[in-house]
Amino acid sequence: MNDEPVEVVEYDPEWPVAFIREASRLRAALGARVLGVEHVGSTSVPGLVARPVIDVMLTVRRLDDALDIRPDLERLGYIHLHGPRAHAMRRHFFRDSPPLHNVHVVEPSGDEWERLVLFRNWLRADLDERIRFAELKIALAAAHRDDLQAYTDAKAPFITDALAKARAARRGAS
């Protein structure tokens, strides 16, 4: 996964279709152990450039339930990721057979669930933010072509700022 150059491409209208297909496979394999399946990440935002990897968020009752579904995810071709991409608020799986997929297993309405959904919805709703993020992603992909972790880390300040704006807007609307 980390051997490939970092490349962002123009939005592909097939990404939502690929998500729907994968969501169906996941629901069939995991059943009621999964509370929800959502398309998140840049490929879930119409018009946004992205690395061509479909991000899927699976919601489970407790994060430890990821251990229960891990064998089924592995049967579907997913690999459980550890190391620098590991995260205390989610479990992360990756499938590198085309189309590429990341699966983020999270708890419902937890911090990571909220972060993924809020950021996606913010970019969907705000064209200016979407344009700024696209420009940043293109520049960072060029600057960190051979280092996915550096590319990911360099996006963090933008994401943190966008989430703060989205939370402020949500507070103002309520």
Query: Angle, to 10 degrees, between the axis of helix 148-173 and the axis of helix 111-125?
Result: 80
Please tell me whether the peptide bond between 99 and the residue prior to it is cis, using omega within 30 degrees of 0.
Answer: yes
Percent of the chain with pLDDT over 70: 93
Give per-residue pLDDT as tens, 8-46: 999 999 999 999 999 999 999 999 999 999 999 999 999
> Cα–Cα distance between 37 and 26 in angstroms, integer?
8
- Tell me, which fold does domain 14-168 have in CATH? Beta Polymerase; domain 2 (3.30.460)
Task: Decide: 93 and 77 in contact? Cβ < 8 Å.
Answer: no
Q: Structure pTM?
A: 0.90
Does the pLDDT value for residue 138 go beyond 70? yes
The strand pair at 91-95 and 100-106 is best described as antiparallel
